[in-house]
Each structure stands twice: as structure tokens, then as C-alpha cells.
Structure 1
Amino acid sequence: MAEQLRLRLSAAELHAVHVRPDIEVASVREVVRRAIRDYFDARGRAELVDRVLDRALPRYAQAIKRLAITSDLGNALEQGRRP
């Protein structure tokens, strides 16, 4: 069962919500739903990559340092930050 959501938009956001469907030949509802799905899909992938890197970099830091082609990668790892 679908639930309703009330959302306050700025004038520019509201304009974009009404212009985009004309460009894509889609309904406002379809465009907004697609934008929400795309946002969460992209956010989920980025967070997953961050979590994997947070676990993998410390575990493989020595091997990565040895394989580093540039000193920037090695320096970043030594300072505890991601390259």
C-alpha cells in the first residue's frame, strides 16, 4: 500500500519538477520517484564502497604501500587517510 508524502519545495525545485517531465515525456510522479530511487541507489553504493575501504585498507596497508606506484599513495596510507 502506497503512502502519501507532502514535500515543500523552493520555487526553483518546483519549476524543475514540472519542467523535467515535459522533457522526459513522463509524469511528475514518475520523475520524482525515479529521482528518489536514483539518490538512494547512488548513496547506498558510495556508503558500501566506503565501508569496504575502511576495512580493507588497514588490513592490506603494507601490501598496498609496497605496490604503490607513486609516493602520494604511500604517504596517504602512512598518514592514515585514503588516497
Structure 2
Amino acid sequence: MVGVRRSSPLQPVHHFRLLLIEDDRELAELLAAALRGEGYVVDVAFDGQRGLHLALTRPYDVAVIDRGLPVVDGLELVARLR
């Protein structure tokens, strides 16, 4: 068809922004690399305080939060975000 542009199924129209908050650096980097490989834009925080700061200052579609975080626990972080 002339004049019709279709997006490729391999090229997402919207890149989902994901916040990963995990204190185990090796695990966090492994997960972030896997998620980026799937097309997500991923920011990583290694403690609850930094994660809270990022969550409050940047737009995210989803957050993956470890429960046992240093500085601010994962459950407390979720409660503060609510």
C-alpha cells in the first residue's frame, strides 16, 4: 500500500522504562542486561534510598524492588511511594 507505514514487530513503538532496585550488584547487572536485551530501558539502584529518589524524580512504567535493601527496606520504599 502506498502511503501506509507499518511498524515492524521487532521494533517496539514505546520503550518501557523499568526501575530495578537490587543490592546484589552482580544479580542487578545480570537482570538489567537481560531486560535491556528484551528492549526495556533500565535504571538500576543498589539501595532503597537511591531507588526512592529515582522513583520520585523519573517516570517509570514498572519497578522491580528487592525486599531486603540497605538504607530503606523494599516494603518501606513501596509504602512511601504509595
More strand by share: 2
Quick check: which has more Rg, 1 or 2?
1
TM-score range, shorter chain: under 0.3
Greater relative contact order (Cα < 8 A, sep 6+): 2
TM-score w.r.t. the length of structure 2 is 0.26
TM-score w.r.t. the length of structure 1 is 0.26
More helix by share: 1
